[in-house]
Structure 1
Amino acid sequence: MMTGVNLLVVGSGGREFAIAKKLKESPRVAHVYCAPGNVGMPTVGVEPVDIDEEDFSSLIQFAKNHHVEWTFVGPENCLVDGIVDQFQAAGLKIFGPNARAAQLEGSKQYALDFMNKYHVPTARFLACQDEETAINHIDKFGFPLVIKENGLAGGKGVVIAPDKVTAEQTVKEMFTAGQTEVLLEECLVGPEYSMFVVISGAHYEMLPMAQDHKRAYDGDRGPNTGGMGAYSPLPQLQDADRQQMIDQVVKPTVHGLVAGNYDYHGILYIGLMLTEDGPKVIEYNVRLGDPETQVVLPRISSDFYDLIDAAINDRPLPAVVEDPAATFGVVLASKGYPKQPVHGQSLGQLPMDDQVMIDYANVSGQLNDLDGAGGRLLMVLAKALTLQDAHDAVYKYLKQLNEPECFYRTDIGAKAGLK
């Protein structure tokens, strides 16, 4: 009788919670470790491991000692810092792009240059290495103007400036804070969507799509965050538009990865804007998105382990089967997030409710006496036959919580007609 394999997931947040939970569902998987994981992971049969996600040598030793079949990398910083290269040099299998390919997220200019080289539609942009150059070119893009920090910023290094005064102030603040390069970008207009692709060399499979909500407050107001909620599927997106995204964005992207010898084996997240001129790419991420992962993975009814295992081992990718049911999730965040989130607040014991699921992220303590330990604390999720039913279950649960040092958006899914 075949025994199941051991897997390791690297990371600690809600995204890694969802990845580890999904892998654990496979009958082929015996044990899932997550390093460092979080205190909520044992609720879904996943074992946290007290190793920092950036301690690559200790992770490698753990994988060897525990006969880990392969490792799935969650966070972008690990990928940019070369965790894949180090694992492969140690003779270990790992899912994620190498450090060179991870520059598609690590450097926004690198990604934009890649898109232009391989004819992937995106916004007009200018990379500026000093404050004077940036300020002198502000007027050339019109307003609102998108201003981005060039490196990793956890989804928060983007400002949409409505006028010249705000744009100049933003540029000055970014360079004063130590940025060595700032990008000015044309502001694209249209609905925004999240597309996820599992890539294995020249081959790929599409995962279910989702819509994220980046701004901190209702009505898409406030600063950009890592994401305040998401849902899948997308009733407002036509099949023809999704196919256009695949034809005009995914296919030339995969062609570019092959032509550029990136040896890409991992997830590629494509943030898209559906403009009047067709789909245009806002950004690439070289990993699954947070919070979209939490609503996308529950909608995969085929074996996620089989898909990733095939990608790692260069076997033909099995088809992804999408569950027609809907998944809806809202993030509970610390008061003050994303700029100055409260830390250490008492959350107590969350009420039990069989209508919702909790994907834990930045929490500490014990499940019967939780404390906040970061910006986005957890995600409340529901899966139902309709998006509206899932929406109603999540908000019914959130309304009964008494967490004065936390907040959440009350309008997630409004663009899909949810009320």
Structure 2
Amino acid sequence: MGKTGLKILVVGSGGREHAICRKFLASPLVDEVYCAPGNPGMSFSGVKTVAINELEFSKLRKFVEEKQITWTFVGPEDALVAGIVDDFQTAGLKIFGPTARAAQLEGSKKFALEFMQRYQVPTATYQAFQEPTAALKALPAFKLPVVVKADGLAAGKGVTVATTQAAAVAAIKQLFNEGQQEVVLEEYLSGAEYSLFAVIGKNNYQLLPMAQDHKRVYDNDLGPNTGGMGAYSPLPQLSKQLYQKIVTEVVEPSVQGLRQEKFNYHGILYIGLIATESGPKVIEYNVRLGDPETQVVLPRVKSDFAELISDCLADKRLAPIKTSERACLAVVIAAQGYPQNPQSGQLLPELNEKSEVTVDFANVAVASATTLKAAGGRLAAVVAEADSLIQAQTKAYQYLSEKQFDNCFYRHDIGMKATHKSYK
């Protein structure tokens, strides 16, 4: 089949968006892929970056109209919560993602927890507070460890798992001091954490391959939460029975709720799960693809991803997603000091792609014609594909070991929970 000329705009600038653009470019249906604002590393993959911020809706609309973009795909949550989909739809432009009302499932932890309660989606017990005194007063009723969450968006960093009362008190005070309007205290759920992504259309939904993200900044799950330090897919430790339970007890009622609330949901629903002793429970919803899970999930999708999104926007019934049996593992390279105070400006080694190893760039800037430098927290993800997870893991770390990084770091144990039985 020849090119039929789909022109796609992806909104966002990170590694997730690089992986999405890469997947669209692989489709025979696609002619051009633009990314706004994108990052300089994307150009290595043939992505055309556009210097428009993801929240500059009127400029983005103008670009879409001028370039005759077929449809727009939204990567980051802030644009969705701010109403980019409503804005584009009002102008009669095709865009993939939920409206601002539906995006509250990610924009407000309290909104999401109340939604889960309404539709009997299993989750943690919780309480929400609008001022620190009430939160501090209620704290002793929660068993330790206790989870302290910002109600609003916090880029994956607004969560503290407090193992002492003092740590919980400090986290509550800090969130209110930072200007959070509402803070949620939540029961700590113990168990393996999994990421599930549903592509939801008008008539049905389809599930992408599942992944496991590594949120903590250091090896052995130590240090503060981050946006994610690595991921892998598939999950050999996830039994067929548990997967079916997740679909029946979590996915089905969640999708039912979207229909009941008349969200007219066209987009991704991410479900963050904990496999507790009493069954799967939801820790959070996101209304978009995750980062860095996207970098390991999309390479395993054998279906034409651009066609899937086109069908979703055209209200066609979505065909089942074909998945590769191969394994994929991503290791995130971060700037020294991430997540609290990342350094920037340090030069990166040449991260050229090789057989079955790709690099999805994030916070990078141009240093020279051939080199990139750090421009923030997470800089890039090295993504390896192989017949097994152990092989993918070996490939990714072999690649990293051959590079010299200054003032950067990465975890050395991504995927260990699946590849090494003794690893906890």
1:223 is paired with a residue whose SS is strand
Counterpart residue type for residue 300 of structure 1: V
Q: CA deviation at 1:343?
A: 1.1
Aligned to 1:83: 84
Which has the higher mean CA deviation after the structures are superposed, 189-198 or 364-373?
364-373
1:388 is paired with a residue whose SS is helix
Asked if the contact 2:347–2:406 (Cα under 8 Å) also holds between the matched residues in 1, the reply is: no
2:302 is paired with a residue whose SS is coil
Aligned to 1:246: 247
- Give the share of equivalent positions with the same residue, in percent: 54
Aligned to 2:105: 104
Matching residue within 371, 380, 383 for 2:382: 380
Q: CA deviation at 1:202?
A: 4.6
| Deviations 1:279-331 (CA, angstroms, capped at 9, x unpaired) | 10000000000000000000001111111111111001011000000000100
Aligned to 1:363: 364
Counterpart residue type for residue 75 of structure 1: P
Q: Find the aligned partners of 2:350 and 2:274 in 1 and give their Cα distance.
A: 40
Q: CA deviation at 1:3?
A: 2.8
2:70 is paired with a residue whose SS is strand
Aligned to 1:401: 403
After the TM superposition, which residues 219-258 of structure 1 pair with which residues of structure 2 at under 5 Å, given as runs?
A: 219-258=220-259
Which has the higher mean CA deviation after the structures are superposed, 12-21 or 164-173?
164-173
Q: CA deviation at 1:350?
A: 2.9
| Deviations 1:104-133 (CA, angstroms, capped at 9, x unpaired) | 000000000000011111000000111111
Q: CA deviation at 1:166?
A: 1.1
2:220 is paired with a residue whose SS is coil
Asked if the contact 1:144–1:163 (Cα under 8 Å) also holds between the matched residues in 2, the reply is: yes
After the TM superposition, which residues 273-352 of structure 1 pair with which residues of structure 2 at under 5 Å, given as runs?
A: 273-350=274-351
Q: CA deviation at 1:30?
A: 0.5
After the TM superposition, which residues 2-401 of structure 1 pair with which residues of structure 2 at under 5 Å, given as runs?
A: 3-350=4-351, 353-365=354-366, 366=368, 368-401=370-403
Contiguous gaps of at least 5 residues in structure 1: none
Q: CA deviation at 1:50?
A: 1.1
Q: CA deviation at 1:2?
A: 6.5
Number of residue pairs the alignment of both structures matches: 419
Counterpart residue type for residue 130 of structure 1: E
| Deviations 1:256-280 (CA, angstroms, capped at 9, x unpaired) | 0000111100000000001111110
| Deviations 1:311-357 (CA, angstroms, capped at 9, x unpaired) | 11100101100000000010000000000000111114335533411
2:71 is paired with a residue whose SS is strand
Q: Find the aligned partners of 1:94 and 1:351 in 2 and give their Cα distance.
A: 33
Q: CA deviation at 1:398?
A: 1.0
Asked if the contact 1:306–1:318 (Cα under 8 Å) also holds between the matched residues in 2, the reply is: no
1:347 is paired with a residue whose SS is coil
Length-normalised TM-score, structure 1? 0.98
| Deviations 1:68-121 (CA, angstroms, capped at 9, x unpaired) | 110000000000000000101111000000000000000000000000011111
> Cα RMSD (Å) of the superposition?
1.2
Q: Find the aligned partners of 2:246 and 2:392 in 1 and give their Cα distance.
A: 27
Asked if the contact 1:350–1:368 (Cα under 8 Å) also holds between the matched residues in 2, the reply is: no
Asked if the contact 1:300–1:321 (Cα under 8 Å) also holds between the matched residues in 2, the reply is: yes
Asked if the contact 1:349–1:367 (Cα under 8 Å) also holds between the matched residues in 2, the reply is: no
Counterpart residue type for residue 308 of structure 2: L
Aligned to 1:412: 414
Asked if the contact 1:267–1:286 (Cα under 8 Å) also holds between the matched residues in 2, the reply is: yes
Asked if the contact 2:3–2:28 (Cα under 8 Å) also holds between the matched residues in 1, the reply is: no
Q: Find the aligned partners of 1:351 and 1:248 in 2 and give their Cα distance.
A: 43
Length-normalised TM-score, structure 2? 0.97
